[in-house]
Amino acid sequence: MVKTALITGITGQDGPYLAKLLIEKGYRVYGTYRRSSILSFWRLEYLGLLDHERLHLLNHDLIDSGGAMRLLARCEPDEVYNLAAQTFVGSSFDQPTQTAEITGIGPLHMLEAIRTINPKIRFYQASSAEMFGKVQATPQDETTSFYPRSPYGVSKLFAHWMTINYRESYGIFGGIGILFNHESPLRGEEFVTRKITKTVAAIAQGAPATLALGNLDARRDWGYAADYVRGIWSILQADEPDTFVIATSKTASVREFASLAFDLAGLPLEWVGSGLDERGLCRKTGRVLVRIDPAFIRPAEVDMLLGDASKAERVLGWRHTTSMQELCAIMLEADMQRERRTSRLRAEPELERVSSERVRSFA
């Protein structure tokens, strides 16, 4: 019996990795995207999924409650993976209401649609370590108290408790993953790891750029998205709906991640100065490669995240396989390749025209 899955947010980072995994497992997959004047499926293309016969793309906005009902009636999924959200913590301070509507209320529309259309559908909610915020214990596991420090974190916490509420009130299989930061070559460029690897790749290939960062001391538990989607899938295959932390159980600072990327590119850094005047100098040339820009410092910060994923390991048999060092190398290599391709495109602009026509004709 072929299973059908619906993934919201197929144009984001995790959606394509999850779609690839599900297709490999034999699923029929529906993925949702929202209409935009510059629609792009580059991530699906990157994983070779854009023309896959078992992947179907549908237009849906998470804040459209009627749309959620129609979507379920049309796809008749066995499993819904709710990945769509306004996910950038920095923007959530600028757009708190929109973040609450999409990231907080959006999942509630889907839960209501499941309750109405078919309560047997299994639902995955993408909860976040950002909900731990000002951490109340270290490491953080499924029993740690929440203290969100951003409109994004507060919105995720609403959706988190709504999912538990629908589990307990209506018997809906609401599986929850509290995922710690996970990255990949498909990560959006505004997130700090990708911003670092993209800028380091450009500098390594001769660009006169400087990497401008905010809080260098923030610490995160960084894993690899391709590892984490295995955890997401396992959460919906469990005997009972439950909540699981997915993490590597290692933490590193933004400064350490940046140092690692520059080391891998053969441009080792020396850190000088302090506070807003701190700089990363290239040990070989003395050139300033990293500086602080206060524009990237948030009104409230999550200082340190470190997850304990032992429950996922014990119950689901899930474990991460990729260290932060390996992850950084994978991301840097992908950005080096892109940087080389961009240089080729500058020399041969005809290539760019052909690829954008392909996306337009698809949409």
Q: Binding partner of residue 36 among ligand NDP, ligand GDR, none, CB under 5 to 8 Å per kind?
A: ligand NDP
Candidates 51-59, 70-78, 107-115, 296-304: pick the segment binding ligand GDR (CB under 6 A).
Answer: 296-304
Q: Are 136 and 306 in contact (CB under 8 A)?
A: no
Examine residue 254 and tell whether it contacts ligand GDR (CB under 6 A): yes
Q: Kindly calculate the radius of gyration of the chain based on its CA atoms and give it in whole angstroms.
A: 21
Token pair in block for residue 320: 């991460």
Residues 141-180 touching ligand GDR, rule: CB under 6 A, are 180
Q: Binding partner of residue 84 among ligand GDR, ligand NDP, none, CB under 5 to 8 Å per kind?
A: ligand NDP
In the chain, the amino acid numbered 173 is F
Give CA–CA dist 339/351, Å, rounded: 15
CB of 278 to ligand NDP, least distance (A): 26
Residues 183-202 touching ligand NDP, rule: CB under 6 A, are 188
Examine residue 191 and tell whether it contacts ligand GDR (CB under 6 A): yes
Backbone angles phi, psi at 319, to 5 degrees: -145, 145
Q: Measured from the CB atom, is 108 or 178 closer to ligand GDR?
A: 178
Query: Applying CB under 6 A, which of residues 113, 131, 172, 179 lies at the interface with ligand NDP?
Result: 179
The burial of 240, by beta-carbon neighbours within 10 Å (0-12 exposed, 13-18 middle, 19 or more buried), is given as exposed
Residues 73-92 touching ligand GDR, rule: CB under 6 A, are 87, 89-90
Total residues at interface with ligand NDP (CB under 6 A): 24
CB of 344 to ligand GDR, least distance (A): 28
CB of 29 to ligand NDP, least distance (A): 14
CB of 349 to ligand GDR, least distance (A): 30
Examine residue 195 and tell whether it contacts ligand GDR (CB under 6 A): yes
CB of 363 to ligand NDP, least distance (A): 12
Binding mask 4-43 for ligand NDP (x = CB under 6 A): ----xx-xxxxx------------------x-x-------
Examine residue 128 and tell whether it contacts ligand NDP (CB under 6 A): yes
Give CA–CA dist 150/290, Å, rounded: 26
What is the contact surface with ligand NDP in residues (CB under 6 A)?
A: 8-9, 11-15, 34, 36, 61-63, 83-87, 102, 126, 128, 179, 181-182, 188
What is the contact surface with ligand GDR in residues (CB under 6 A)?
A: 87, 89-90, 128-130, 180-181, 190-192, 195, 213-215, 218, 220, 254, 296, 298, 301-302
